[in-house]
Chain A
Amino acid sequence: MENSKDIFNEKPKSSLAKALDIVSTMASKPSGFIGLAILIFHIILAITSPWFAPYDYKAINPSLMLNAPSSEFWFGTDSLGRDVFTRTILGGRTALTITFFGSIIALLWGGLLGIFCGLVGGRIDDVVMRIVDAFLSIPWILAMLLIVSLLGTTTQVLIPALGFFYGKGIVRVARAATHDVIAKDFIVSAKARGHSNLSIIWNEILPNVRDAILVEGAMRWSWMLLGFSSLSFLGFGVSPPTPDWGLMISNARGLMSFAWWAVIAPIVGLSSLIIGINLTADAFAKALGIDRSTKAPV
């Protein structure tokens, strides 16, 4: 965190120039470049795929069941005769959208609560952290499955639920980052000037802990994608016939001894996206001077 301050405080730049600086630092290393390229490819694919998908993703055709890849069906067809290529290029849209908004919710509540706890300290901090610890010790998968099975698998349930369960780890990170700056002179003098807690959070603390929280949010996006795909795989995520990689893998798994293409295509899609986000998040952390590798994935 010490390094990141230097990057930002050397000379005043517009925020766009700063952002471009960070991106070019990220792309200067091979792993960061590959990560960014994969992520951008997936985002463009997710936005544009409905326009160039060759077939209808929900068109069931029993006469075309489990066809091997051919010039007509590039990735073959699945057990219901649907085109695997069409379903694969459309399969990341739901997951990307839900986890993107989920991460923003996680960042907002986790970051703000963490900063607040770090700032006020005392009894409130103790109580909140005990509750956060308790939530951390309940496996996310049990909690998510319970919520989804009782409230349904709609977007309105999934986004807040994922946002909540992936935000509790951010509370800790934001709180620790706040503790690092709280004793510094500029905070003490802002308090002495009589600024309100809200003003101190917004003007003094936030700019200094922003990097740590953003990096955490980027990592959490990839974990949330992993969690959401696991839910889909278990049949508690996207409802059919919407194409989704997790669900496609789970459906095609039973027949993979002779129709391997129907399971390989979504595996490549999902793995490449998660690896892309991970490499990007790592490069992002390095460009901001934050070392995440000694932290546990909680």
Chain B
Amino acid sequence: MDHHQRWRPTVNEREFIERALQSDLRVDGRRPFDFRRLKILFGREDGSAEVQLGDTRVMGYATAQLVQPYKDRPNEGTLAIFTEFSPMADPAFEPGRPGESAIELGRVVDRGLRWWSPEIAVWESRAVDMESLCVVAGKHVWSVRVDLHILDNGGNLIDAANIAALAALSTFRRPECTVGGEDGQQVTVHDPEVRDPLPLTIHHLPIAVTFAYFGEGNIMVIDPTYKEEAVMGGRMTATINSNGDVCSIQKAGGEGVMSSVIMQCLRIASVKAADITSKIKNEVNSYTSAKALQKVKRLPASALKKDNAPDVAMKEGSDVALETQSTKASSDGQQINKEPPSVVKDNKQEDVEPMLTECNPEAQSESRLTAGESDEKQEVISPKSLKDAVKPKHKRKKKQHKNS
């Protein structure tokens, strides 16, 4: 549908933004070289991260599978970045094929991570070590895929997507595999429950920092919002790491910018990159240590295979959830929380009612209502013969279904 287009400012809005910038004022109250607030949340699974940069939201999800390597690089794994502008993010984004800007975004993030030149390929300066992803040279290598889902377009998608990709890759774990068999070509992939999955080897974090230029290229701001993006004359993204190495610079047309301004931008970018790097590292460290704690808790109940430890990162704000969940975890016999042990015992002996009292007193009284009503439920005994006849076939069918 052509009714909804990219947000276009009115003449007044455009003038307001431009005039304010001339006196170093931005519409959201930031100074020209301030980033918006950065928040990184991690999902339940390894390798999933959600980044919020102001109102911009991007979710990164890293997965891997064993594939045959490219012929010209038999001992290197592969890394692919997939981006699609979900229609969720902006009314202008349409479902279907990724648009021009989606491809540009993917390429900029990709090039930042893939910083290397073929002539000096032995350099260990690429962000993700591809050779460590090799299992059997020429036969099996890991192919890592990062899906970047743009959830909310508040402007400056490139920087947010880049951070999401880094956060996802930093927490990603691939299953351990060993090579064996008679010919030494047999690959065994170990279950993550049996052997701890391995992290990727990441040498450095290349951070994308985007500048927007206004006027004749003499006014610049960092981390533009979508409103500023609609007004700006040009844009430059510098991907730089905390050491100050420039990994990529993207400036696709737009207003011409003096080289002295570019130099100034790069100096600012390297300071910002150091800030963001430490932010990502801190968040990743606290996530991994929380994960490690969960593992300790889970061990005694390993027979259950299912861990019910709380998801700390994703459920900020819902303290009640954490409390109830940790109570549940403690019924494995491990006392980690301050809840009196009697509660746990009660749970086992009678029913799970005491749990309810603490989380939702109202729910308890209402649950009685339902209890009274379910009195009338009849015992269900399904005919065994029918079930037995169908079971194996059904099982097979379901597995195929899951795989597809």
The judgment on whether A and B are partners is no
